[in-house]
Structure 1
Amino acid sequence: MKVTLFATCLVDMFQGNVGKATVELLERLGCDIDFPENQICCGQPSYNSGYVEETKNAMKKMMTAFEHAEYIVSPSGSCAYMLKEYPEIFKEDPIWAPKAQALANKTYELTDFIVNILKVEHVGARLNGTATYHYSCHMTRLLGVKDAPLTLLKNVEGLTFVELPGKDRCCGFGGTFSVKMGNISGQMVDEKVQDVESTGANYLIGADAGCLMNIGGRIGREGKPIKVMHIAEVLNNR
C-alpha cells in the first residue's frame, strides 16, 4: 500500500525523530512511503487567527502537493483535521472545492490509519514502564479519533496504561492561544502536569506535537522525572 506522509511543520522543524519513527513504523507494516518535498504548512495557525483569505494560497499548495496521493497519513491529529476543514473553506469555489474534498477523503491520522485502514492492532512494540495518554483536543473532539491510540498502546508489550485524570481538559497550547493568552495557557499546562504526575507514570504519550512540546516543556522546566513521547516513537520501539 502506498502512503504519502504529511509530516507537519512541528515535526519537520523540531521533532524529526517523530517523522522518522512514523516512516519506519509504516514501512514495517508493509507500506511504501512517499514524501512530497513541496508540502508546506497546512495553514492552521493563520486560519485560526482569522486570516482566512490570506491562508487559502497555502492550502491550495497543499492540495497540489498531495493531489497524487492514495492515502495521506500524518502523525498529528490536529493537522490531519485541518485538511478535513478544506472542503468547508472552499465550498463556494467550483475549481478548488472538489480538490479539497478529495484531499479530505484520503487523509488519516497515524493511529486511525493503522487500526481502521491497515486493520492492525498489535504492531510488535515494546516499552517497559507505566504510561498515561494525553487526549489532544482537535484529535478527539473534532477529528473523532479516540479509541485507536489506546487500542495500540494497550498492546505494547511491557507497558502498563493508567488513565489520565482530567483527560478531557486542554493542555493550554492551542497554537496561537498559548501566545495570545500566555497567563491562562500557563495555568492550564500547570494543571495538566499535575494530573500527569498524579498517575505515577514514567511516560506521557500523545499524538500531537504541539501538545507534547507544551506539556513536555513545562515538565522539563520543573525537573519532573517523566519522559514525553509521541505515540509514533512508542509504537516504533522494539
Structure 2
Amino acid sequence: MNKVELFIPCFIDQLYPETAFNTVKLLERAGCEVIYNAEQTCCGQPAYNAGFWDEAKSIGLKFLNDYQDEFPIVAPSASCIGMVRNGYDDLFTNSMEHNRCRSIQKNIFEISDFLVNVLEKEYFGAELVGNAVYHDSCSALRECQIKDEPRRLLSHVGGLELLPMRDQETCCGFGGTFAVKFEGISAAMAEQKVKNALAVKADYIISTDSSCLLQLQAYIDKHQLPIKTIHLVDVLTSGWANI
C-alpha cells in the first residue's frame, strides 16, 4: 500500500470540507494509506502574492517542517502546489532550507497528476449524469502543466459527457486579491466563463481549484443560473453508494 501525506489547503479546509473528506476517500480507493498532520495550516500563498515575502517565508518554513519527504504529498489544489513548486524558489533558494525545500518540491503533487502519472489509475467507479465543461485553472495549466490528467479521469465517469467550450483556458477572474482590487474586471471575466459554459448547455463546471469554483459559483448564485460548479474530487467520488 502506498503511503501519502495529505495537504488540505486552508481554502478547502474553511469553505469546502466535504471536498477534503472526499480526497481521503479517493486516495484510499486508489490504494493509498493517507497520513494527515492536523497541525498543518497554509502554504503561504496569500502573503506571497500580496508582496509580504517575510511573512510568506515564515509560513512556508512551517509548511516544510510539517511534512516528511519520505512519502508523496498530495493536495486537491493546483494553486497551492504551484506555490510550493515555484514560489518557494523565491523564498528558500540559497537559504538554510534550500535542500529541504528542493526535496519537498520534487515530492508534492496535485491529485489528478498523482493519480494519473504516479499511480497510473484513472477509473474509480464514479457516476454523475449530465453534461459538463472543464475549467483549466491558471495554476494548474500554467504552473503545474496539468491539462490532460483531469480530462482522462473524467472520461471514466459514468453518465458524464465532457464538452468543449469557448476560451477553455482563459482565467475565471479570481486571482486571489485581484478579485477584490479589480472587482468589475473580475466579475466580467466570471460572467464570460459562465456564459461560455451555458452556451454548450453544460450542467456542471468542473475544476481542480476550489478558488475558481467559488468565483464562478458566486456569479451563478447572484444571477440564479441553471448550472453548478463542482470540484474534480467530488465528481470522482460521486455515485459510489450506487455501486
Same fold (TM over 0.5): yes
Task: Give the whole-Å Cα distance in 2 for the aligned partners of 1:150 and 1:206.
Answer: 10
Distance 1:92 1:147 in 2: 34
Tell whether the 8 Å contact from 2:69 to 2:104 is kept in structure 1 after alignment: no
Residue of structure 2 in register with 1:91 after alignment: 93
Stretches of structure 2 lacking an aligned partner (at least 5 in a row): none
Residues 175-210 of structure 1: per-residue CA shift (max 9 Å, x gap): 111111111111111111111111101111111010
1:90: Cα distance to partner?
A: 0.9
Inter-partner Cα distance in structure 2 for 1:32 and 1:164: 37
Q: Counterparts of 2:4 and 2:119 in 1: how far apart (Å)?
A: 11
The answer on whether the counterparts of 1:74 and 1:109 sit within 8 Å (CA) in structure 2 is: yes
Q: Tell me what 1:144 maps to.
A: 145
State the 4+ residue runs in structure 1 displaced beyond 2 angstroms.
Answer: none
Number of residues of Structure 1 aligned to a counterpart in Structure 2? 237
The alpha carbon displacement at 1:31 in A equals 0.5
Contact 2:4 2:32 in 1 (8 A): yes
TM-score by length of structure 1 reads 0.97
| Matched residue SS, 1:191 | helix
- Counterparts of residues 1-238 of structure 1 (less than 5 Å): 1-67=2-68, 69-85=70-86, 86-93=88-95, 95-238=96-239
Contact persistence 1:173–1:210 (CA under 8 A):
yes
Q: Hey, what's the Cα distance between the residues in 1 that align with 2:223 and 2:212?
A: 17
Query: Is the deviation greater in 96-105 or in 62-71?
Result: 62-71
Structure 2 residue matching 1:128: 3-state secondary structure: strand
TM-score (norm 2): 0.95
Q: Once the two structures are aligned, what percentage of the paired residues are identical?
A: 37
Match of 2:26, SS?
A: helix
Once the two structures are TM-superposed, the CA of residue 88 in structure 1 deviates from its matched residue by 4.1
Structure 2 contact 69–103 (Cα < 8 Å) conserved: no
Unmatched 5+ stretches in structure 1: none
